[in-house]
Structures are given as C-alpha cells and as structure tokens.
Structure 1
Amino acid sequence: MSVINRKSVGVVLLSALLLGVLYCYMYQPNRVFGDVGVRRENGRPGDDDIAASNDLHLVAPAHLQYKQPSIIHGRGDVVTVTPWLSPVVWEGTFNAVLLDSIYRPKNISIAATVFAVGKYIKFLKDFLETAEQHFFVGFKVHVYVFTDRPDEVPRVRMAAGRQLTVRPVPSSQRWQEISARRMELIQLLIEEQPRRANSYIFCLDVDSKFHGRWGTESLGGLVAVIHPGYYRDDRSRFPYERRPASRAHLAAGEGDFYYCGGAFGGLLQEVHQLAKTCRANFEDDAKEGIEAAWQEESHLNRYMWINKPSKVLSPEYLWQDFKSRNPEIQIIRFSGVIKNYAEIRPNV
C-alpha cells in the first residue's frame, strides 16, 4: 500500500473514531447537578427516562367536561410563571378534577418523609391526621416517620392504599444536627426504593398541619416551595449563606426566590440528586469547620439556584400560623404551627 493510501485510511479511521466519541458524548444521558457532573449508573436510558417522560405526557379522559380555560383571564395579582417558564402554583391556576383524572391512570405513588425527633414528636399526630384529610387524597401514599421515639408514634387510621413506616434514628443535643442529617437520611431512603416510573417524594416539616388540598397540582420533576417569610422581599434580604468559603454560598445579585427547607419534593431521582449533592456539600463544609447559616435549607437554596425547579409552589403550601394572611393568599394548604422553640429544641 502506498504512503498516500495509508494516510487516507488513517484519516478515515481517525474521523470515524472522532464521530463515535462525539455521538457518545451527545447521547450519553448526563446531567449537571449542583456544581458537578453526575453520570447515570447504567449509562443508558432506563427508569429515570421513563419517569421523566411519563411526567410530561399528560393524557386526559376523552369525555371529561370542565370549565373552559382562558389565557386572557385569570390571577392578575400574582406571578404564575418563573423566568425559566416553570409554573408557580396558586389557588385559581389549576383544575383539580382535571389534574386528578390525568394522574390517576398513571398509578403514581407518593412518599412523604417527616422527622419527629425529640419533643417534635408532639406535632406528629396532627400532621398525620390532617395529611389523611388533605394530602394526595385518593392516591397511594407512604409516609416515612424518622424518630428517636418510635414507641410514641401515634396510631392514626389511614385510608386504603396509604401506609406508615417508622424509621428509628438517634437523638441529638443540637437541633442543627437534626436538621442537617435530613438530607443524608432522605438520600439513603431513596436509594432503597425500587426505580420505577411515577414515583414521587415530598419532604415535609412535622411541626405543620394541612388545612387544604395538596395534590396532583404539585407534581413535577423538582418541586420547590417559596418561603412565606420572604416572598415579598428583595433578594438582598434573603437569609442565604453569604460567606464565599461555604459551598452553600450565594453572592449579592444571585438567587431567584427563597425556598423552604421544610417542604420540597419531586420525582425520586431528582430529589435523590438534590439530597446527595446537598449532603456532600454540607459534609465538605463541615470538614473545614463551616456550618451554613440555615443548614440544609441554605444548601437547598444554592442547589436550586443552579438546578431550577420545574414547578414552584406558592406560599400557600407552607404558610406560618403566626402570620396574618396577605390578600394574595386565597387559601392556606399547609402551615407551620405556633410553638415555643425554647421548649421543644434541645438547644436554642
């Protein structure tokens, strides 16, 4: 073979190799979570892709009748879409009957985590009883209670298709440590679950009660709840972690909203990545003697600044009982109860 032919063959082979590498790069299901890239374990489309696809494919019953929607009339007192085009859910922005009819055939399952550690166990009964009345009524729900007092978990009658599992955890002398460990425990819980389509999880504060519907309108890939204490404020007043040394750091001029650490959720794989990333960043901070201003809530806000939530829930979904209701709050769905922190926290 001539030298020219050898060179031609070499160029062809090199071009084929480069095209192969480019194809793998373009179609490998990678995604960026936080500040690092994470590759799916099997390197091919799988349950994660199925779940994401089913979450987006919304099929309504053929003969369901409901009020005609309008694109020119609706809530004019609040913003109902973010700058990255995710819905902001308020009363009056969705049709509950329509949404339930779309999601019921999908055979979705909802997990909910709640931490009742130390004296916070006193709030668990109201949480569970009101969840039976308002939280995904008519759907499969599995509540996981993390507590250091398993013998004190109240007996609450649950509807068919709903169940409760108690997960013992150690107690702590610092409420900050209890708060910080939540991401680790949520991560480990999700890793135990079978990977299947249409599995969602919501992580909720125990010292809260349901007052109104919380249902299929809240479903999404990654779901955040806007904090009721700051939603009218300029972001310069948000209690973000401001120290650059922390991995939860948000600089001046950064941040969209201030999200609650007491209510967030989404598809299992999305919440797993959130919990895994926040846990890793928290632990890396701890190795350097840093604890973020509001523990896991600070890391959650950093995460969601980079990884935008696909659905944002208005402050209806975690109000505070001590606050008077503002005019735009037409309904309170879930709210933190009034409490004496000196009484219930091991340290204040």
Structure 2
Amino acid sequence: MHLKRKVLLLVPWLSALLLLKRYFRNDRAEELPLSEWFDPRTRPDVVTTTSWHAPVIWEGTFRRQVLQRHYRKRNLTLGLAVFATGSLADEYLEPFLLSANEYFMRGHRVVFYVLVDTLDRLPELEWGPLRRLKVFIVSEDGWPSDFHLRRMSSLGRHIVEGIQGEVDFLFGMTVTQIFQNHVGVEALGTRVAQLHGWWYFQNTRSFPYERRPTSAACIPFGQGDFYYDGAFMGGTPLEVLDLIDEYLKGVIHDLNTGLNSTYEKHLNKYFFLRKPTKLLSPEYNWDAEFYPPPQVQYVKVAQRSKRRF
C-alpha cells in the first residue's frame, strides 16, 4: 500500500485526538518558580537559560531535594514509552528496560509503556518498587512502514485510548538509548525538548533544518533557536499528543505536495513554533561513540549506536 494512503488511514483517530486536545486545552503542569530550584550561575561555561526564559538542565544547575519535595507532595505517576520492533527489540530492548528500571525517576511511580510487534521479543525482568510494565502490540497491518510514523502514530493512539488518564507526565525515548545515571524530576515539565549532542556545539547557520519552503517542516534561513534531538522528548500527555498531531499533519501536508521530510525536522519545526518550557542538555543523550567534551560532565543517557533510522 502506498505510503500516502497508509498515512491517510490515521485521519479518523486524528479527529478524536483533536477533540481530546480541545477538551483539555488548559492542561498544564504545575511547576515550581525557577528561583526556588534553578541556579544558572553555577554553569557559566554553557547556555543555561533560553531567550524565552526556559531552563536548560545541566548537572549542577538544579536543587534536587527541593524538586523531590515538591513532586512527592503531588503523588505523581510518570510514564516512559519506548517503541521496539524487529531486530532493534532483539538487540536493545532488554538493556534499555534494565537501565530504565534502575535510573529513571527512582522513588516515583512509573509506568513503562513498551510497544512491540510480538510478545516473543519481551524480556523477562524483575521490576523494582513502584514500577509497572504495560505492553502494547503494534500490528503492521494498515500502519505506515516508516519507523517514526509507526512509532508516533502508535503512541498517539494509545495516549488517546488511555495513557492520558494514567500518568501526569510522559516521555518517549528510542530503544537504542541506555541510562547510565539517574534521570529524575529535574526533567519534568509541560513541554520538554532534548538538545542534540552534536549540533549543540555547532554554528546555528549549519543546523540541518528543513529548508524547502513548501514543506510543513520548513524553518527559513536565519531563523531557529536550537537543534533538537528526536530521541528523547516529553511533557504532559496532552502536550506530547499535540506534538504527535502536528507531526502527522505535517507529514500529510508534505505528502500532498510530493515531499518527504524527516521526523526530526518536523520535531524541530514544532519546537520552533511552540517553545519548550524545559530543555535537557546533551548530558541526557550523548552519543557513546564520542568522548564527551568538558561541558558534558555527567552523561546520564547514552545513545548506543549510530542512527540507522
């Protein structure tokens, strides 16, 4: 089946998604004032605050105990979603889940949402306290063959069908990542974006944005803030849903004009128009093939392989 026709099959539930977004349009996370937990002066060697006054989270810039007290009072449930099919699941799913169980939001209730094509690929693990696994089977029938289209459309459908009522914050990650150190409540926010480890240290003019004017993902030359990594994003479930909605609409627009831009370029356009309320530094997704520069003092999440998709 042609890719365009497959994508158009998403339209019926996309309408339900839009209705859900309108109903919960005032959904926002209750966040502490920055002055109570964030000190950008501790890291003069890096960008710690954006032009729109959003914090960039580096180790040493946040007061962990203050944040822990605040969020424990709220009795949160947090979600982490990962899409793992085929050989990627065989090779990477078990180490991803093992490391997430150890390091992701320790001390808080977490639901791990695993989207797989068969239960045979699911490893048997012992989960820690406050941890729960929820598995969704992703059928190939009627779904786009493009990896990111399958990943985001599947996640969006499950947010609509239940995730949005189960967790307060939701993160999406790629299965080729592995946690190396604690990732905690400092990462929570209404709309959270991950700075790209490579492009953070490059000149803004060289960012690989989509430049074709007729693409929905286009960011014109001379514009743009940062280059964001598609491997790690999050926020409230309804904000994640909004990102997915805009991405899918952008894909449909581009297919109608004969274009095919990448997921990461659509994601960068989304965060260009809807500024993140919190940015995660390259410490939260560093390519394991490269030795980190002095600015990256504490790698929390490593990308374990070259991007193949």
TM-score band w.r.t. shorter chain: 0.7 to 0.9
Deviation at 1:111, TM superposition (A): 1.1
Partner residue in 1 for 2:5: none
Do the aligned partners of 1:183 and 1:276 also contact (CA within 8 Å) in 2? no
Secondary structure of the structure 2 residue equivalent to 1:251: coil
Alignment of 1:98 with 2:78, yes or no, is no
Residues in 1 aligned to 2:98 and 2:128: alpha-carbon distance in whole angstroms? 11
Deviates more, 1:189-198 or 1:96-105: 189-198
Match of 1:41 among 2, 22, 25: 22
Structure 1 vs Structure 2 CA RMSD:
2.7
Establish whether residue 333 from structure 1 lines up as the match of residue 308 from structure 2.
no
For residues 195-239 of structure 1, give each alpha carbon's deviation from its aligned partner in whole angstroms, at most 9, with x where no partner exists.
559711101010010001111000111000000111011122111
Matches within 5 A, 1:57-68: none
Whether the 8 Å contact between 1:222 and 1:265 is mirrored in structure 2 is yes
Q: In 2, distance between residues paired with 1:225 and 1:317?
A: 7
Task: State the partner residue of 1:234.
Answer: 203
1:152 is matched with: 121
Matched position secondary structure for 1:41: helix
Is 1:304 aligned with 2:271? yes
Alignment of 1:107-126 (within 5 A): 107-121=75-89, 122-126=91-95
In the TM superposition, residue 38 of structure 1 has moved relative to its aligned partner by 9.0
Give a deviation string over 1:248-270, Cα, whole Å, max 9, x none.
Answer: 11110111111011100001111
Distance 1:283 1:181 in 2: 14
- The match for 1:271 is 240
| Equivalent pair of 1:223/1:312 in contact (CA under 8 Å) | yes
Q: Aligned to 1:271, what secondary structure does the other structure show?
A: helix
Q: Distance in 1 between the 2:180 and 2:25 partners?
A: 33
Aligned-partner SS, 1:92: coil
**Given that residues 146 and 168 in structure 1 are in contact (C-alpha distance below 8 angstroms), is that contact kept between their aligned partners in structure 2?**
yes
Inter-partner Cα distance in structure 1 for 2:151 and 2:214? 22
Equivalent position of 1:324 in the other structure: 291
Deviation at 1:180, TM superposition (A): 2.4
Helix, strand or coil at the partner of 2:120: helix
Moved over 6 A (4+): 68-72
Deviation at 1:274, TM superposition (A): 0.9
Match of 2:31 among 56, 63, 68: 56
**Using a 3 Å threshold, how does the CA distance of structure 1 residues 229 and 265 change in structure 2: closer, same or farther?**
same
TM-score by length of 1: 0.76
Task: Return the index of the structure with the highest Cα Rg.
Answer: 1
Check if 1:223 corresponds to 2:192.
yes
Cα contact 1:183–1:296 (8 A) shared by 2: no
Secondary structure in structure 2 of the residue aligned to 1:56: coil
Q: How does 1:201-216 map to 2 (within 5 A)?
A: 201-216=170-185
CA contact (8 A) 1:55 1:198 kept: no
Once residues 223 and 145 of structure 2 are traced to their aligned partners in structure 1, the CA distance between those partners, rounded to angstroms, is 25
Structure-2 residue corresponding to 1:161 = 130
The answer to whether the 8 A contact 1:256-1:305 is kept is yes
2: CA distance between counterparts of 1:55 and 1:156?
33
Name the stretch that deviates more: 277-286 or 255-264. Answer: 277-286
Q: Percent identity?
A: 33
Task: Note closer, same or farther for the CA distance 1:72–1:139 as it changes in structure 2 (3 Å cut).
Answer: closer
Please name the residue that 2:224 is paired with. 255
Alpha-carbon distance in 2 for matches of 1:114, 1:156:
16
**Offset of residue 181 of structure 1:** 2.5
1:223–1:309: 8 Å Cα contact kept in structure 2? yes
With the length of structure 2 as denominator, give the TM-score of the two structures: 0.85
Offset at residue 160 of structure 1 (A) = 2.3
Contact 1:79–1:88 (CA under 8 A) maintained in structure 2: yes
Q: Distance in 2 between matches of 1:168 and 1:288?
A: 32
Could you tell me how far apart the structure 2 residues matched to 1:128 and 1:84 are? 35
From the superposition, tell whether residues 230 and 125 of structure 1 become closer, same or farther in structure 2 (CA, over 3 Å).
Answer: same
Amino acid paired to 2:102: Q
Encode CA deviations 1:78-99: one digit per residue, 9 max, x unaligned.
1110000000000000122221
For 2:214, the equivalent position in structure 1 comes to 245
